[in-house]
């Protein structure tokens, strides 16, 4: 037998999932994909390899994967990184994943830990290890809260490469002044540099979703330009939420509630070097940090 004829699992590599395998596993496990849990499974080996390559992860990384599902991306990650900690909310999928990995990547199975939990609420104490990277095909309806929760709670995460709905990817990576710049853009920028990292079509999923997908990469600031402790994050996020809750109003008006009165909002805006007649959509994360610092 030539090397090419030896199956990947026998070569110590993961046997990735194609369309037939995804359907067969779903049938075997009795999986009926739900919209509520954003269950669209990738059945294309090139897509999962591209995600892993774009994440820039390697043997030195412990990867946190949110929503491993049937294991498409998990198997591709196991080929490349030191450890994968997979957080899955669906108890059936969480229980089945180690079995799939033992079958399709027997030599790599001890690199995987599965945690049955809700990634929007998971606590650092439930994660066995210090993940250096988040790599995930996120459930679309909770992608932004999951991303922000994990960057807030896990300071060891230095980078993230996530697949999300294309529109959400655009919003996360938007710059000040753009129409789609908003709460997700500024909050993600509080933690690090954000950029679009590619597009993914609908055909690589089962079931086929209604929307296109996009890749986003976030690299945490190696030397944060501002304090990133919990207290400062809460303060900064509070003023971001207030500014965008009434995005058409000037900041003087929109921040009246946050500051106590429009006059006090004006005073604080001037103290932070921000024109009171400007709108939230023109401010970068640094400006929101300065503004939050004026809060007594
Ligand atoms: C878009 S699918 C991705 C599945 C797999 N990673 C893939 O690429 O084929 C999203 C996965 O996230 C899981 N999920 C949904 N909400 C979750 C949550 N709050 N916490 C953890 N996992 C969640 C779903 O059960 C599903 O397995």
Question: Is 74 a pocket residue for ligand 1 (Cβ < 6 Å)?
Answer: no
Provide the phi-psi class of 260: left if phi over 0, else alpha when psi is between -120 and 50, else beta. left
Question: Is 122 a pocket residue for ligand 1 (Cβ < 6 Å)?
Answer: no
- CA nearest 270: which of 251, 286, 285? 251
Q: What's the 115 CA to ligand 1 centre distance in angstroms?
A: 12
Question: Is 41 a pocket residue for ligand 1 (Cβ < 6 Å)?
Answer: yes
Q: What pLDDT is recorded for position 265?
A: 98
Here the ipTM equals 0.99
The whole model's pTM is what? 0.96
Q: What's the 261 CA to ligand 1 centre distance in angstroms?
A: 43
- Read out DSSP for 164-181? EEHHHHHHHTPPTTSTT-
216, 173 contact by CB (below 8 A): yes
Parse the chain into domains and list their residue ranges. 19-220, 230-294
Q: What pLDDT is recorded for position 7?
A: 82
Q: What pLDDT is recorded for position 2?
A: 63
Task: Give me the helices (H) in the chain, please.
Answer: 19-29, 45-55, 72-78, 91-104, 143-153, 166-172, 183-191, 230-245, 251-254, 256-259, 262-271, 285-292
Element (H, E) at 195: strand 192-200
Q: Which two tokens stand for residue 136?
A: 């995930």
Could you name the CATH architecture of 230-294?
A: Orthogonal Bundle (1.10)
CATH topology of domain 19-220: Rossmann fold (3.40.50)
Q: What's the 37 CA to ligand 1 centre distance in angstroms?
A: 6
Q: What pLDDT is recorded for position 4?
A: 62
Q: What pLDDT is recorded for position 3?
A: 59
**Which residue positions form the known binding site?**
40, 42, 67, 88, 118, 137
d(C-alpha 263, C-alpha 41), whole Å: 52
List the pLDDT tens digit at each of the 296 positions of the chain. 565 678 888 777 899 999 999 999 999 999 999 999 999 999 999 999 999 999 999 999 999 999 999 999 999 999 999 999 999 999 999 999 999 999 999 999 999 999 999 999 999 999 999 999 999 999 999 999 999 999 999 999 999 999 999 999 999 999 999 999 999 999 999 999 999 999 999 999 999 999 999 999 999 999 999 999 999 999 999 999 999 998 889 999 999 999 999 999 999 999 999 999 999 999 999 999 999 999 76
Q: What pLDDT is recorded for position 6?
A: 82
Radius of gyration of the chain (CA): 21
Element (H, E) at 136: strand 133-137
């Amino acid at each position: 037998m030539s090397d090419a004829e030896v199956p990947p699992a026998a070569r110590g590599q993961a046997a990735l999932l194609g369309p037939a395998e995804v359907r067969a596993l779903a049938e075997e496990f009795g999986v009926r994909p739900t919209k509520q849990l954003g269950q669209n499974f990738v059945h294309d080996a090139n897509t999962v390899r591209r995600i892993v390559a774009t994440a820039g992860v390697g043997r030195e990384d412990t990867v946190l994967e949110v929503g491993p599902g049937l294991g498409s991306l998990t198997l591709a990650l196991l080929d490349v990184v030191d450890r994968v900690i997979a957080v899955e909310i669906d108890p059936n999928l969480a229980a089945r994943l180690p079995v799939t990995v033992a079958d399709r990547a027997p030599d790599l199975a001890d690199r995987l830990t599965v945690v049955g939990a809700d990634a929007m609420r998971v606590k650092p104490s439930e994660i066995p290890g210090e993940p250096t990277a988040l790599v995930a095909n996120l459930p679309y309806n909770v992608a932004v809260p999951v991303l922000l929760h994990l960057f807030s709670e896990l300071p060891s995460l230095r980078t993230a490469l996530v697949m999300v709905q294309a529109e959400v990817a655009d919003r996360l990576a938007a710059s000040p002044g753009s129409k789609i710049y908003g709460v997700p853009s500024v909050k993600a920028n509080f933690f690090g540099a954000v950029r679009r990292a590619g597009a993914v079509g609908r055909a690589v999923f089962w079931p086929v979703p209604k929307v296109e997908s996009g890749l986003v990469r976030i690299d945490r600031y190696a030397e944060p330009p501002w304090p990133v402790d919990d207290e400062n994050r809460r303060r900064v996020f509070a003023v971001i939420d207030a500014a965008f809750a009434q995005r058409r109003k000037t900041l003087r008006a929109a921040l009246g509630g946050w500051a106590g009165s429009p006059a006090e909002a004006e005073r604080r805006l001037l103290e932070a070097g921000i024109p009171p007649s400007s709108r939230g959509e023109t401010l970068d994360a640094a400006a929101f940090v300065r503004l939050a610092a004026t809060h007594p």
